[in-house]
Structure 1
Amino acid sequence: MKPSTPVKLLAAVCFAASLSITSCKKGELIQLPLPIKSNDKVFKSAIFKQKLQEQLVGARGYQFVITHKGQVSDTAAFGIGSVNGDRSSVNAFVNIASVTKTLTAITALKYLDAFSIDNEIGPWLPSSWNRHADVRKLTFRQLLTHTSGIRGSGTSWSSLISTAGAKIDSPKTYAYSNINFALFRAMIPKLHDSITFRNQEYDLGTTAFQSWMSGEYIRLVQAYVISRSGIGQRGCAPVAGRTFQMLNEAPSRLNGVSHTDWTEFCGGGGFVLTTMDMSRVITYLAEKDIILSDNKKLLMDTYRLGWNRVFPVEGGMAYGHGGALYSDVNQSDSLDVGDVGLQTLIMKFPARVQLALSINSVDSTWRNTSGIVKAAFDAAWVKE
């Protein structure tokens, strides 16, 4: 730290040797030589960017946005986004995959005045569903922390209805399941307006009612998270001509698969945003109270509601959520060479630093995005 003006200290003790002062008197103001340097480290966005890029070598394309103290401090866009050679851009759309869970959690927490995170979810599920006692007794906290005992990844309406009516045999310990968050697609509309929800459930046929719930869920996430982040209308369907594909990586021959419409499957994944959109969401969440109050943000962090990446970094703790999608091109039932996919991540770090990251290709294994960003962030602190 370099003071911009001379520092004057009241000399109570004379340090003649170190300051080259031959004498001093009590109460005398002494002019100290400049600059005076501290041992404190400072965060450097340029180094953070460089370290991230060094660890993303090999991707067909990636995009990230770094914000610091509420402002965009750096961006990067490398490579391509489709087999047509579309150039990488932070303003192109991607399916943000499980980063959607953070948007879902934020929207659910908006209704905390009407429920506690330890309330049972039974009353908020559609009454027309067969709801097993094991599921009715689950709490919002158990869903938001993946400790419900629910297993599985399917998020279709048939999967949700089947899950709601089934006994839970697995232990209520942490086990990541998309269904935990997809169930909010049915509950958030009821939390918002239970009377309208009841009328729609009574008046509409099964398929129409499911589509209404899907639309209401998307509308409310838009209203409470996306619009309040200063972003225009978004949804869970690809934006024609502006959405990147999932790609494979070299040396395999370039291959890509386009995204499908997730409107009826959204909740645990599926929102389609740009990397810049993701940056705005995590920055507005961290820097302002327009999305969540400070108390609700503290609750979110304390219990990891909507976060699946929490780890220590230089200066404190980092909180975030990662996402991943892939298409099993060779039908091997696991990710391997030749498959196509993507990874996404939002993070908030100490020192008012936030990151949004998209990688629109995969190789034989998933990148350890938590390790990548932790190493890059820690290396970005230097002494001045």
Structure 2
Amino acid sequence: MKHVVKPFACCAIAVVTLAGLNACKKEPPIQSNDKKFSTSLFKKNLQEALASARGYQFVITQNGQVADTAVYGIQDIGGTKSSLQSFINIASVTKTLTAATAVQYMLQKDVTIETKIGKWLPASWPIHPDIRDLTFKQLMTHTSGIRGSQTDWSPLMTTVGSPVTAPKTFEYSNINFALFRAMLPKLNDSVKFRQQELALSPGDFQQWMSQEYIRLVNVHVLSKAGIPTRGCAPVEGKMTQMMSEAPYRLIGSDFGNWTEKCGGGGWVLTTMEMSRIIVYLTHTNNILSPEERQLMDDNRLGWVARFPVTGGIAYGHDGALYVDRNKEEGLNWGDVGSQTLIIRLPAKVELAMGINSLGADWRKVYDIVALAYNKSWK
């Protein structure tokens, strides 16, 4: 009770003192020039920036509570209205979930982020010395020298068996995080992992690792945020689609099943569930302990973006997927896609967002959020 009573007692003393001064000097009340953050203005600014989308959903939270939401347009070419309860492939936002799971093993076992990964890969895989000597930190910060975006089991095994020829400087690669699909099950229980590796066929063992990775993320992240069991497969009848934007004619594409290639992308959640994850990561110790959260923040493990905004520093991770539908190189008009985002901002504000259409180029989501946030102080 002392922590509750003392602040109020101090405030009461301050009020009395100021009242006495005003009575003696007859001066006007002191006015604060501090600006306050407006969630309603933030919402308006974001909506203006997303006006060209076929559909979007976002959730603004402040002080750990939902402050405002926005839903616009359609979620599929059938014209189904967008909803905060519609599911979307969160793409690379998956990396934050994977990192938050992995971090919980970094301070509990005989392993740190500087530990070499070789011991934690399947023993039955041919492992090149260059890969064996990489650290967990290098994977989670995209400084491993690994290149590539294909995350099925076959390209993962090819990568693990090949030399690292690129510089060990930052270069974004989905493979870095997809490798945790093979390592998290071993970090969790190395004895059971080896038993499964010896008992199962290579294909069945891969399926077991995929399912075990999904189970562990559910246990260590989703369930701790009060989210039901989820995975990397579409939720029948409740999925958004990747779509094209006007003036191109409306076309769409489904995300497909990512169960055997998730880790760097592929988790299927609602926007409200993404919001719960960023809120629970930020405002509670349910998912991470203070030490684990500090480790994740200080080393940008699972945060691809860290940049200054009004009042402090923003931490976030975005995701983006597209399908080439117009047969022209690169993303342009006539292709279909989606973008997702979770971001932690100063003023105890968080944002979770899903956008399910693309035009001629990717939206610069961090620029959009930073500008909208900076213009929301009054």
Is this a same-fold pair by TM over 0.5?
yes
Equivalent in the alignment of 2:311 = 315
Equivalent in the alignment of 1:166 = 162
Query: Which of 92, 95, 101 lines up with 1:98 in the alignment?
Result: 92
Q: Which residue type is aligned with residue 188 of structure 1?
A: L
Q: Which residue type is aligned with residue 155 of structure 2?
A: S
Q: Distance in 1 between matches of 2:330 and 2:275?
A: 30
Q: Distance in 1 between matches of 2:175 and 2:214?
A: 17
Q: Distance in 2 between matches of 1:315 and 1:170?
A: 38
Q: Which residue type is aligned with residue 219 of structure 1?
A: R
| Seq. identity, % | 56
Equivalent in the alignment of 2:180 = 184
Query: Which of 70, 88, 99 lines up with 2:64 in the alignment?
Result: 70
Q: Distance in 2 between matches of 1:11 and 1:315?
A: 31
Equivalent in the alignment of 2:206 = 210
The TM-score normalised by the length of structure 2 is 0.94
Q: Cα deviation per residue 1:63-116 (whole Å; 9 max; x = unaligned)?
A: 000000010000000000100001011110000000000000000001012110
Equivalent in the alignment of 2:49 = 55
Equivalent in the alignment of 1:37 = 31
> 1:8, 1:32 within 8 Å by CA — same for their partners in 2?
no
> 1:110, 1:292 within 8 Å by CA — same for their partners in 2?
yes
> 1:48, 1:379 within 8 Å by CA — same for their partners in 2?
yes
2:358 is the counterpart of 1:362: yes
Q: Which residue type is aligned with residue 165 of structure 1?
A: G
Q: Distance in 2 between matches of 1:61 and 1:4?
A: 50
Q: What are the ranges of 5 or more consecutive residues in structure 2 without an aligned counterpart?
A: 1-10
Aligned CA distance change for structure 1 residues 249 and 4 (closer, same or farther; 3 Å): farther
2:17 is the counterpart of 1:9: yes
> 1:6, 1:31 within 8 Å by CA — same for their partners in 2?
no
Q: Which residue type is aligned with residue 60 of structure 1?
A: R
How do 1:84-163 residues align onto structure 2 when only pairs under 5 Å count?
84-112=78-106, 113-114=108-109, 115-163=111-159
Equivalent in the alignment of 1:230 = 226
**Superposed displacement of residue 174, structure 1:** 0.2
Q: What are the ranges of 5 or more consecutive residues in structure 1 without an aligned counterpart?
A: 25-29
Q: Which residue type is aligned with residue 128 of structure 2?
A: H
Equivalent in the alignment of 2:290 = 294
Equivalent in the alignment of 2:245 = 249
How do 1:267-286 residues align onto structure 2 when only pairs under 5 Å count?
267-286=263-282
Aligned residues: 366
Task: Give the 4+ runs in structure 1 shifted more than 3 A.
Answer: 3-8, 30-34
Larger gyration radius, structure 1 or structure 2 = 1
> 1:341, 1:362 within 8 Å by CA — same for their partners in 2?
yes
Aligned CA distance change for structure 1 residues 6 and 312 (closer, same or farther; 3 Å): closer
Aligned CA distance change for structure 1 residues 194 and 9 (closer, same or farther; 3 Å): same
Q: Distance in 2 between matches of 1:251 and 1:203?
A: 55
Equivalent in the alignment of 1:338 = 334
Q: Which residue type is aligned with residue 94 of structure 1?
A: I
**Superposed displacement of residue 233, structure 1:** 1.3
Q: Secondary structure of the equivalent of 2:341?
A: strand
Q: Distance in 2 between matches of 1:153 and 1:130?
A: 20
Aligned CA distance change for structure 1 residues 215 and 11 (closer, same or farther; 3 Å): closer
Aligned CA distance change for structure 1 residues 180 and 6 (closer, same or farther; 3 Å): closer
Q: Cα deviation per residue 1:347-379 (whole Å; 9 max; x = unaligned)?
A: 001121100011000011000000000011111
Q: CA RMSD in A?
A: 1.8
The TM-score normalised by the length of structure 1 is 0.92
Deviates more, 1:227-236 or 1:137-146: 227-236
Q: Distance in 2 between matches of 1:330 and 1:338?
A: 5
**Superposed displacement of residue 37, structure 1:** 2.0
